[in-house]
Structure 1
Amino acid sequence: MESMWLKYTLLVEQATEDLFVAEVLGSPYTLGWVEPQIEILTTENGYDYAENTEGPVVAYLFEPMQDSEEEHVSRLRAYISRWDGQVSLKEIEQVAEENESWKEEFREVQIGEWWVAPTWTDPQLLKDAKHVLWIDPGAAFGTGYHGTTQDILLLLQEMDVTGKTVFDIGAGSGILSLFSALNGAKYPIWAIDINPQSEYQVKVNTANNHLPEEAVQVVIGDASEQEVAARLPAQADLILVNIGGDENVSILPLIRERIAADGQVILSGIVDWNREAVLSAFEAAGFQAEAERHSEEWVTILLKNTAVNHSVTTV
């Protein structure tokens, strides 16, 4: 029989947070985590987040369910009364004991003729799949669920990447790099990300897809910085950029410098309201839009280099 727990969402005034955490750690309750309340903001570049520095923080407590929910809640209310209204109960939820239940959140997803799936997927669910890209979630961004990733994969399926040198800027877990490697791009694909966790996750997923270690070369850092750019090849046939509108523009000097004649760029992480600014910057630099995809407010654009490179840096 599946074990059930009660998950309590509490609001804790910031002045009481330290005392509350210290005492709860020695109580019968299990402290999950404490987090500030976050407000999602719409900005010119898409979305941002702001922390509410004045309001209460949110704390999550867990308790194995042994009696009725009403009895548990009554005891919890009595327990938190010691803080004289500085701690309040916001929400109660019955949840299954974790173990590996978190894996249920990561399921196989079909994107064109390809499936992106974690390695624990039931083989029967994919028995009719033509192509599978095995991606296990980790600390690096990229599970294949976001519209920007899916739209890039759909565009890539319409292209021939055989023998091409590929830069994947904002590589995350390596989905786009590994797709390119599996479809004949030149080894290594250059996966660039500012998150140090990307290197480990790309290696895991490279092995998951039975590719050799040399298939993908991870470069950690900001590609707009010279010391990072110096670690990349002098020229790329295809550059994938899935970060954000302003970031796409900030990386334009590197793209302009390294893109091959007739090379292609796929930009994503753009939103409807900064599409024109991003596209105008790239058109002014000699790129021409060839295709475009939309997922809700997110925009993905395929562009072709129509200008002669200003310069080529030798590595």
Structure 2
Amino acid sequence: MENMWLKYTLLVERETEDTFVAEVLGSPYTLGWIEPQIEVLTTENGYDYAENTDGPAVGYLFEPMQDGEEAHVERLQAYIQRWNGHVTLKEVEQVPEENDSWKEEFREVKIGSWWVAPTWTDPQALEGAEHVLWIDPGAAFGTGYHGTTQDSLLFLQELSLTEKNVLDIGAGSGILSLYCVLSGARQPVYAVDINPQSEYQVLVNATNNHLPDSAVRVVIGDALLPEVAEKLPERSDLILLNIGGDEDIAMLPVVDKHIAPDGLVILSGIVDWNRSHVLSAYEEAGYRLEKERHSDEWVTLLLRKITMK
């Protein structure tokens, strides 16, 4: 008999989102993801979103069915009462544990000589795999499926990371940061993200990969702000940015301040039609294009800081 899960669609008021996520992560419910109500737009910088800032975010919770649906819903309604109407149930759906369940949306993927896989992956699917990076999806961006992440990982596999100082801006769930640690980078790797949930997810995934919490130092906030920048390492041999073309340009002062002589930068989140704009900004600042990769409309650049002799 097929095991069934309940998928709950919730409306979460913005001022409650952080506390809701923090508490749910320690509850019997499984948090799928939180997303704003948005419309996708095409812009000069790639893609943007028209977000309904006045409306609530949409959250998805899951739990295995053990009783009738009505009993589960009653318990959930009682659980969300603690948020005094700021969290409401919109929809309930029964989904099979296999094929269409939330876990089936996140499968193992081979990137170069490495596999990125959630911890529930069938061991037979990874039989013979030499390198596995265990990443469970959560409230922070980053599952390994997007072309920008994959191309960044492919570049990283071409580099010697042993004892390199690494700064990862836009770290999300920590895929690139943790790969660097597992490949011999100097600890801690610094992982910066504006999403407060990133810290929890990076630490979960560090544990998944049998790494100590100290392997990655998570810094929450915008790296352009002085109070965040002061927490970053003085010099980094490698800086990673996977945040968007215009955002990569905006972050150039931070990159320039923290890059070591002859250091490398991987820029991603760029679209074809913004590539020249991003590359020109970095070339004017003294960076040389070493290589680039393309996945559909997405571009990833590997650059080196030119040191004047």
In which range does the TM-score fall when normalised by the shorter chain? 0.7 to 0.9
CA distance change for structure 1 residues 227 and 120 in 2, over 3 Å: closer, same or farther?
Answer: same
CA distance change for structure 1 residues 127 and 225 in 2, over 3 Å: closer, same or farther?
Answer: same
Is 1:44 paired with 2:44? Answer: yes
Per-residue displacement from partner, 1:205-241 (whole Å, max 9, x unpaired)? 0011011221100000001111111101110000000
1:174 is displaced (CA, Å) by 0.3
Separation in 2, partners of 1:307, 1:221: 30
Amino acid at match of 1:165: N
1:36 is displaced (CA, Å) by 8.7
Identity between Structure 1 and Structure 2 (%): 71
Per-residue displacement from partner, 1:187-218 (whole Å, max 9, x unpaired)? 00000000010000000000110112211000
**Equivalences for 1:66-77 in 2 at 5 Å?**
none
CA distance change for structure 1 residues 105 and 261 in 2, over 3 Å: closer, same or farther?
Answer: same
Amino acid at match of 1:105: E
Native 8 Å contact 2:39 2:50 kept in 1: yes
Tell me the equivalent position of 2:172: 172
1:4 is displaced (CA, Å) by 7.6
1:308 is displaced (CA, Å) by 5.2
Q: What's the TM-score, normalizing by structure 1?
A: 0.73
Q: Post-superposition, which runs of at least 4 consecutive aligned residues in structure 1 deviate over 2 A? A: 1-7, 35-39, 50-53, 93-98
Q: What's the TM-score, normalizing by structure 2?
A: 0.75
Separation in 2, partners of 1:170, 1:209: 20
Native 8 Å contact 1:266 1:301 kept in 2: yes
Tell me the equivalent position of 2:85: none
Separation in 2, partners of 1:4, 1:104: 13
CA distance change for structure 1 residues 162 and 52 in 2, over 3 Å: closer, same or farther?
Answer: closer
Separation in 1, partners of 2:6, 2:262: 59
Tell me the equivalent position of 2:274: 274
1:101 is displaced (CA, Å) by 2.6
Which residues of structure 1 form unaligned runs of 5+?
10-34, 66-92, 310-315
Separation in 1, partners of 2:305, 2:254: 13
Native 8 Å contact 2:5 2:101 kept in 1: no
Indicate the SS of the match to 2:223.
Answer: coil
Per-residue displacement from partner, 1:118-140 (whole Å, max 9, x unpaired)? 01111111111110000000000
Native 8 Å contact 1:287 1:307 kept in 2: no
Amino acid at match of 2:269: G
Amino acid at match of 1:285: A
Separation in 1, partners of 2:203, 2:42: 35
**Equivalences for 1:1-315 in 2 at 5 Å?**
1-2=1-2, 38-50=38-50, 95-96=95-96, 101-307=101-307
1:48 is displaced (CA, Å) by 1.2
CA distance change for structure 1 residues 3 and 45 in 2, over 3 Å: closer, same or farther?
Answer: same
Native 8 Å contact 2:95 2:101 kept in 1: no
Separation in 2, partners of 1:168, 1:36: 25
Indicate the SS of the match to 1:260.
Answer: strand
Native 8 Å contact 2:164 2:237 kept in 1: yes
Per-residue displacement from partner, 1:53-80 (whole Å, max 9, x unpaired)? 9xxxx9x9xxx99xxxxxxxxxxxxxxx
CA distance change for structure 1 residues 42 and 160 in 2, over 3 Å: closer, same or farther?
Answer: same
Separation in 2, partners of 1:120, 1:201: 16
Native 8 Å contact 2:252 2:282 kept in 1: yes
Amino acid at match of 2:187: Y
Tell me the equivalent position of 1:86: none
Per-residue displacement from partner, 1:150-175 (whole Å, max 9, x unpaired)? 00000000110111000000000000
Native 8 Å contact 2:166 2:236 kept in 1: yes
1:50 is displaced (CA, Å) by 2.2
CA RMSD of aligned residues (A): 3.6
CA distance change for structure 1 residues 289 and 251 in 2, over 3 Å: closer, same or farther?
Answer: same
Indicate the SS of the match to 1:195.
Answer: coil
CA distance change for structure 1 residues 244 and 37 in 2, over 3 Å: closer, same or farther?
Answer: closer
Which residues of structure 2 form unaligned runs of 5+?
10-34, 61-67, 70-92
Separation in 2, partners of 1:111, 1:5: 30
Per-residue displacement from partner, 1:98-149 (whole Å, max 9, x unpaired)? 9x93111110000000000001111111111110000000000000000000
Pairs aligned (count): 259
Indicate the SS of the match to 2:162.
Answer: coil
